Amino acid sequence: MSSILLIIAGPVFIAAIIGRLWVWFRLRPKHDSDLDEYYHEFEDQHPDYIRYAKWSRITYTAAIISALLLFLAIVI
């Protein structure tokens, strides 16, 4: 059981970390974007910010779940 968890969670964790770095460097709105022109209450409606926030949550959640599975595999 623990070897199956390690086989599944290990690559998922590495992929989540690589994905998180990709989201952080490539999808984050740049300083020269028009995000600064949006009023602060409506900046969460900016398309680039929405895409960044969505993929940031997905990769962060995948990293947390796979880290918990790795911990569970080590404990078992």
Please compute the mean of the pLDDT values over residues 1-14 and round it to a whole number.
90
- Residues 73 and 6 sit within 8 Å (Cβ to Cβ): yes
Residue of higher predicted confidence among 18 and 41: 18
**Closest C-alpha among 67, 72, 74 to residue 16:** 67
C-alpha distance from residue 25 to each of 10, 21, 29, 52 (Å) = 23, 6, 9, 10
- Residues 47 and 34 sit within 8 Å (Cβ to Cβ): no
Q: Please determine, for residue 3, whether its predicted confidence score (pLDDT) is greater than 60.
A: yes
For the chain, the structural domain boundaries read 2-75
Prediction pTM value:
0.75
**Closest C-alpha among 64, 43, 42 to residue 52:** 43
Q: Tell me the per-residue pLDDT of 25-34, one tens digit each, with 9 for 90 and over.
A: 888 776 656 5
The reported pLDDT for the residue numbered 41 is: 58
Please compute the mean of the pLDDT values over residues 37-46 and round it to a whole number.
62
CA gap 19, 12 in Å, rounded: 10
